[in-house]
Amino acid sequence: MLPNSCKKNEDKINPAIPELTTAVPINVTQTSAICGGNVTSQGNTSVTSRGVCWRTTRNPTILDAKTTDGSGPGDFTSYITGLSAKTTYYIRAYAINNAGPGYGNQVTFTTAGGSGGDPCSGLTSITDIRDGQVYPTVQIGSQCWLQKNLNYETSVSWCYAYNTSNCDKYGRLYDWNTALMVCPPGWHLPDDSEWTVLTDFLGGEYMAGGKMKSDSGWNYNGNGANSSGFNALPGGNSYRGSSFNGLKSRAYFWTSTETSSITAWNRHLYAERDDLPCDNYLKTHGFSVRCIKD
C-alpha cells in the first residue's frame, strides 16, 4: 500500500496545470482579431476557464486583457476587440484549473493601419468612371474615405468664386439634393451617424477637427495636424451659387441626414478651432462633398 500512498501525495504536491496551444490570429482589422486555442490536456483537474490574453509586450498573462471562452478540453475561438490600429500585440491562449493557469505558445500579430494617412486596404485610389478623375483613399478606423473633396461637375454645383482652379484644389460645392446623388458608384454621402463614428475614433467631436485639417493652407494659424490623413482643406461655401465666403478659413461638408424639408445637417471646420461641430443649413447652400465607401 505504501507505493500507492506515495503516488497520491506526489500528485497533491505537484499538481499539473493544463497544456494547450495558441491558434494563429485571423481576420485582423484595425481594432479586432479572431484567435483561440486548443486545450490538449486539462491536467489533474478540470479546466474551469479558458481564453486568450494579450498585451503589447511579451508573455501576456491573465492579469492583462483577456477573453473568457468556456471551459473544458478541446478547441475554442476567441473574438478580440478594442485594439489600436497599427499596433503589434503578443497573445497566448490560457486555461485554468485548480492548480493555476497554463499558457499556450506565444504568437504575434499587427493590426491594420486605421489612421495616419494609410490608404484603404487593397484600394489605394479610385478612378471616377464618369470623368476619369482619380481620388486617393484613406482608412480611418473602420471607415474607408476618399481623401479629397469630390470634383464631379453637375448642373447644380460651383467652383468657389467661379474659379476652376479652386475646383481643382478644393473640389466643387454642391447643394444638398445634388450631394445626395453625386458620389461615384460604390460610394455615398455619409449620414451624420457615420460622421460621428469618425469623430469618436479621433477622440471626440471637440478634438477631431485638429486631426482632420490639412497641415497647410488655413488662415489665422489654423493649420491642423492631419494625423488622421483626412486632409480637410478650407474650401468655403456658397449660397445658391450667387455668393461665396470662407475660403481658406472654413470647410463645410454635407451629411445625408435632413432636419426638415428645407434643411439638413452639415459638419464644418474653422481655422480658429479644433472641433467638428454639426449644424443645420438650408439645402440650397453649396458645401463640399466627401464620399465614404459603401
Q: What residue spans define the domains of the chain?
A: 2-110, 125-293
pLDDT for the residue 110: 81
- Closest by alpha carbon to 248, among 285, 222, 219? 219
pLDDT for the residue 5: 45
Q: Which residues of 179-201 are buried (b: 16+ CB within 10 A; e: fewer)?
A: bbebbbeebbbbebebbbebbeb
pLDDT in tens, 101-159: 999 999 998 887 656 678 998 899 999 999 999 999 999 988 999 999 999 999 999 99
- Closest by alpha carbon to 140, among 207, 266, 231? 231
pLDDT for the residue 9: 47
pLDDT for the residue 114: 58
| Residue 121, amino acid | S
CATH code matching the domain that covers 2-110, chosen among 3.30.1280.10, 3.40.50.880, 2.60.40.10, 3.40.50.300 = 2.60.40.10
pLDDT in tens, 184-220: 999 999 999 999 999 998 889 999 999 999 999 999 9
pLDDT in tens, 10-24: 444 457 999 999 999
pLDDT for the residue 1: 44
Give SS3 for 145: strand
pLDDT in tens, 21-72: 999 999 887 788 999 999 999 999 999 999 999 998 999 999 999 999 999 9
Surface-to-core class of residue 289, CB atoms within 10 Å of its CB (0-12 exposed, 13-18 middle, 19+ buried)? buried
